[in-house]
Amino acid sequence: MEALKAIRKTLLVVSVLGILLSAIVVGLIIRRIIQPLRELRDSAEAVGRGDFSRKIERFSNDECGDLAEAFNRMTSNLQTSRAELEKAVETIKATQAQLIQSEKLSAVGQFVAGVAHELNNPLTTVIGFSDLLRQTETDEKNRHYLDLVARSAHRCHKIVHSLLSFARQHAPERKLIELNAIVEEVLEIMAYDLRTSNVKIVKQFQAGLPALMADAHQLQQVFINILSNARQALETFRRDGEITVRTRLEGGSVRIEFQDNGPGISAENLLRIFDPFFTTKPVGKGTGLGLSLSYGIVKEHGGKITAVSRAGEGVMFVIELPASNEAITERPAIMQPASSRSPFAPAFSGKSVLVIDDEQWILLLAQELLARDGHGVVVAASGERAMEVLKTQKFDVIISDWKMPGLNGIHLFEHLLNVDPTAAQHMMFMTGDVINDSFQDFLRRNGKTCLPKPFSIDEFRVAIGRMATATDVK
């Protein structure tokens, strides 16, 4: 019995120790399994809250360790994807802002296009009647005042023409252009902003530059962007800002430089100025797309654009474009402004002229001017009225407005081609709108010319004289 009791006691102790040891072993095993799962759970919750920086240490080489590695790769990928998504969102916002601005410009262009014709008609009458008054006015002081009126009206026309030409949408088209002429148009567009920002423009243009095979409107966009950036930098930096614009031929390239005396660009930012969406301007002041688009346009033209700058010493943008070996031989069928009194005025008189325009003041001006020069004048306020007149009377010169309500100038010309080709040969056009490519092609195909409004009386005389000469030869 004593031995049995001893055995029982021994078995009890062994059992208790076995149970305790088993519990310890099981606890360790559970801890080894549960703890990683708890860390995984906590990390997963953190990721769910948007914290993608959480990592789990690989504590074993078993499946749990593999799970930890897989989790770490997942969070790393999520972190990368989130950064890319945030960048994409910023890009979308910037692009949206750019599109909104482009839509605004498009709306402005459409508005100006609708107003230009109505504005150029009264400018024509202002210039024309002031010219007539100058010819009859004997007081030198009044003649000077009338000259100022005419010059101011011409300036208004030039500004409207430049703005409309830039704001309109154009299909990309490369043709031979003169760089100096394009830069002059851009400076005319920017003249008000530059002047009111106290920025002086110094022009150093080389004469006789070879032509460029380029899209004029795209290059205008590049030049305006560079000048706008320079103006904004100078406006807040100094009150005596200056931008020097140089053009010259260098090797086989035409080079244009825009150099300002502004704050310059730091070396760090200079490396990134052509990157899309990079901008140093405050929020809402820029999208960072201007120079990037300019870089792309210049590259597409086979050229290159670079920037040279030091902080506090201004910046110089240099654009090099390949020169063309071809000369500009095809000129637009637009009457060029007369530089002096028309030589045709005394030589041509007694011609019969039909003037067609929907603006009464234009008709009155033409009637007064042509009658003074000894021509027989008939006026028509519409294309329909002109058709009625042409059924009963022949004319040496027919000058018609291009755009009119109802039957416009082109429709009238096409009608005359069918019913009276001789009258169609005697026809020319005038317009207060900007000549688009389709109308330019129409003029070339039919050998016609167009007198842009507003025009001076000398320019009007030149147009009538040239047309009368051409019809007499035929």
pLDDT tens, 166-219? Answer: 555 555 678 888 999 999 988 888 887 888 888 999 999 998 899 898 888 889
Cα–chain-centroid distance for residue 196? 22
- Name the pLDDT band for 102 (thresholds 50, 70, 90): low
Among 233, 261, 277, residue whose Cα is nearest residue 86: 277
Count of CB atoms within 10 A of residue 239's CB? Answer: 9
Bond into 276 cis (ω within 30): no
Per-residue pLDDT averaged across 407-418, rounded?
91
Among 217, 211, 260, residue whose Cα is nearest residue 240: 260
- Name the pLDDT band for 439 (thresholds 50, 70, 90): confident
Most confident of 71-80, 97-106, 199-208, 432-441: 199-208
CATH architecture of 194-327: 2-Layer Sandwich (3.30)
DSSP character at residue 343: T
Round to whole Å and give the CA distance between 471 and 469.
6
* Residue pLDDT, tens place only, 104-144: 656 666 666 666 667 777 888 888 888 888 877 678 888 88
Cα–chain-centroid distance for residue 270? 24
Q: Which residue matches tokens 């030049």?
A: 223
On whether the CB atoms of residues 43 and 56 are closer than 8 A, the answer is yes
* Upper half-sphere CA count for residue 181 (Cβ side, 13 Å): 11
Count of CB atoms within 10 A of residue 284's CB? Answer: 7
- Provide the sign of the torsion angle of the four alpha carbons 463, 428, 332, 445, taken in this order: negative
Scored b (16 or more CB within 10 A) or e, 68-89 reads beebbeebeeeeeeeeeeeeee
Amino acid occupying residue 296: G
The CATH number assigned to the domain with range 344-473 reads 3.40.50.2300
* Residue pLDDT, tens place only, 461-470: 888 888 888 7
Amino acid occupying residue 322: P
- Judge whether residue 368 has pLDDT over 50: yes
Q: Please list the residues that pair with 205 across neighbouring strands.
A: 247
- Name the pLDDT band for 345 (thresholds 50, 70, 90): very low
Among 402, 436, 444, 387, residue whose Cα is nearest residue 120: 402
Q: Describe the crossing of helices 360-372 and 63-136 by its angle, rounded to 10 degrees.
A: 40
The DSSP H or E segment spanning 45 is helix 2-48
Among 396, 402, 356, 390, residue whose Cα is nearest residue 373: 396
Amino acid occupying residue 304: K
Among 229, 238, 253, residue whose Cα is nearest residue 315: 229
Q: Please list the residues that pair with 429 across neighbouring strands.
A: 400, 450
- Name the pLDDT band for 146 (thresholds 50, 70, 90): confident
> Tokens representing 451?
């007198």
* Residue pLDDT, tens place only, 307-329: 988 777 889 999 999 988 876 65
Residue 341, pLDDT score: 39
Among 37, 98, 122, 66, residue whose Cα is nearest residue 359: 122
* Upper half-sphere CA count for residue 24 (Cβ side, 13 Å): 6
Round to whole Å and give the CA distance between 56 and 76.
12
On whether the CB atoms of residues 416 and 435 are closer than 8 A, the answer is no
